[in-house]
Structure 1
Amino acid sequence: MKKSIGVLLLVLIAIGCENSDKLTFEPLQIVGEDCATCPKIDIDVPKAIDDTAIANTINRSTEEEIIAYLSFDEEEDIENLNDAIASFTSSFKELATRFPEDTIGWEAKVDGEVVYEDENVLTLAMDTYIFTGGAHGYGATTFLNFDKTKGIELENWELFEDLEDFQQLAEAKFRAQESIPQEGNINATGFMFEDDEFHLAKNIGYTEDGIRFVYNQYEVASYADGPILLTLPFKEINKYLKNKVKS
């Protein structure tokens, strides 16, 4: 019996050590007002609850991103999430009052999750859908990358040792995936890269499968084409990364 307890303790200690570099999150779930003249607002994102600099950075960056989604009036000074929700709601109510017969319900949905974490890097992916009238709404994926050791959010260029060399590799992989000839115009098959030159996606993030690029709708293709995804395995690109992934 004592031997069994000892083995169990060793297993629990091993699991604790294995997960010691992971941050702790709880769900942050917010819904808007429920009324006939209210937009539908549904927010479900992770909130870091550790008392650390990186946890504060993650929560601040997440909130700022959501505020940007909900800020319908660019001139309005919005400082927190509650103000952003109130602004989005009041903008819809004002429109519904002015055009009661023509106004279609607005919608804002934000779903977030941690898609990658090791001892150095954490990536949070946010899937959003915003509808404020028109033929259709707009959905997008946003990656937020964080350096856990420095307690900061990372820009895309800060992910790589040599961005120029990496971009050349990414273009070759993109052309191969999308059946675009390696030589010739990047838009030869119907893409819409600005100035006919390949560029990395605005949203790049670590995932368990590798570094993922998400070209959201309208970024390099039409709305009907949907988002364009490219995932490069770590074993192929690890040498280009500043924060390398252990195999």
Structure 2
Amino acid sequence: MKLNFLSLLFFLFLIACNNEETTSFEPLSITNNSCEDCTTVVIEIPKALGKTKLSETINTALQEEIIALLNFDEISHAQNINNAVVAFINDYEELNNRFPEESMPWEASIHGSIVFENKDILTIKLESYIFTGGAHGYGTNRFLNFEKKNGNELDLKDLFKNEDDFKLLAESIFKQQENIPTNAEINSTGFMFETEVFSLPDNIGYTENGLQLFYEPYEIASFADGPIIVTIPYNEANKHLNFSILP
């Protein structure tokens, strides 16, 4: 019986430790009543629970990103996601009233998922597709990285001990992945880095497989090439990171 009791205590200890390292979420789904020839909006994201600073930071960051994605005229006064959905639909209806023969129903699809979490870091990826007319819509990913201890959202500058040192590593891996000779200029095979110098994307996030660099369509290549994704294993990236990740 003594052995069983000690085993139970150990099991409860493991559960407690696990609870300290994870954040509680519930799914949040927002959709409009779509119909044929109507604008369609589908939003599915995790909502952080509790009244902690971290939960508030996560929910605020997600809300701000979604409002920005749905902001067609760049003069949005939306205070929350529901307001942003209404504004997006109204923007389409206003355009359709002015040009009924030229406008096509708009579409917005936004899905959020937790792609990494340990005791220090939590990362949410927003995958979105927005169509507001034209030849095609625009799809992208957006990483939101959070420091759990202080409940803060991390900017890119917060990720690295020395961004220039990390950039050298990233360029080396980028060239290897994209078959660019080591001593060749970064744009020598057709990429379009500004000033012909390698640069990091705005979108960088922690994932289970490594630190992921996500270059948007048009950012460094043509739209037809799609996004360029580079994943740097943690055993190579850790020495440059403020928050190293155990394998």
RMSD of Structure 2 on Structure 1 (CA): 1.7
Match of 1:238 in 2: 238
Aligned pairs for 1:120-199 (under 5 A) are: 120-199=120-199
Q: Which amino acid aligns with 2:154?
A: L
- Aligned counterpart, 2:105: 105
Is the 2:37–2:104 contact (alpha carbons within 8 Å) kept by the matching residues of 1? no
In structure 2, the CA distance between the partners of 1:174 and 1:182, relative to structure 1 (3 Å rule), is: same
Question: What's the offset of the Cα at 1:126?
Answer: 0.5
1:12 Cα shift?
4.6
Moved more, 55-64 or 30-39: 30-39
Structure 1 residue 23: Cα displacement: 0.3
Amino acid at match of 2:69: Y
Matches within 5 A, 1:1-247: 7=7, 10-36=10-36, 38-247=38-247
Measured after TM superposition, the shift of residue 5 of structure 1 is 7.6
Residue-by-residue CA offset, 1:120-141 (whole Å, 9 max, x unaligned):
1111100000000111100000
CA–CA distance in 2 between the matches of 1:184 and 1:129?
35
Query: Any idea what SS the aligned residue of 1:20 has?
Result: helix
Equivalent AA in structure 2 for residue 148 of structure 1: K
Match for 2:186: what amino acid? I
1:132 is matched by which residue type in structure 2? T
Q: SS at 1:205's partner residue?
A: strand
What's the secondary structure of 2:191's corresponding residue?
coil
Distance 2:121 2:55 in 1: 12
Q: CA deviation at 1:43?
A: 0.2
Give the counterpart letter for 2:129 in structure 1. Answer: Y
Give per-residue Cα distances to partners, 1:123-178, cap 9 Å, x unaligned. 11000000001111000000001111121111111100011111011101100110
5+ residue gaps in structure 2?
none
- Separation of aligned partners in 2, 1:128 and 1:136: 14
Q: Deviations over 1:50-75 (max 9, x none)?
A: 22001100000000000000011212
Instruction: Tell me how far apart the structure 2 counterparts of residues 150 and 41 of structure 1 sit (CA, whole Å).
Output: 34
Q: TM-score normalised to the size of structure 1? A: 0.94
Q: How many residues align?
A: 247
| 1:23–1:50 contact (8 Å) kept in structure 2 | no
Indicate the SS of the match to 1:140.
strand
Identity %: 46
Task: Judge conservation of contact 1:38–1:92 (CA < 8 Å) in 2.
Answer: no
Equivalent-residue separation in structure 1 for 2:20 and 2:194 (angstroms): 45
SS of residue paired to 2:115:
strand
Deviation at 1:7, TM superposition (A): 4.1
| CA-to-aligned-CA distance 1:190-226 (integer Å, 9 cap, x gap) | 1111111100111000111110001111111111111
CA distance in 1, matches of 2:120, 2:6: 32
1:31–1:42 contact (8 Å) kept in structure 2: yes
8 A contact 1:146–1:153 mirrored in 2? yes
Decide whether the 8 Å contact of 2:213 with 2:229 is kept in 1. yes
**TM-score normalised to the size of structure 2?**
0.94
Letter in 1 for 2:174: F
Q: Is the 8 A contact 2:66 2:81 kept in 1?
A: yes
Distance 1:90 1:5 in 2: 63
Where does the alignment leave 5 or more consecutive residues of structure 1 unmatched?
none
Q: CA deviation at 1:13?
A: 3.9
In structure 2, C-alpha distance between the alignment counterparts of 1:35 and 1:135, rounded to whole Å: 22
Given that 1:120 and 1:147 are in contact with CA atoms closer than 8 Å, whether structure 2 keeps it comes out as yes
Does structure 2 retain, via aligned residues, the 8 Å contact 1:204–1:214? yes
The answer (yes or no) to whether the contact 1:70–1:108 under 8 Å persists in 2 is yes
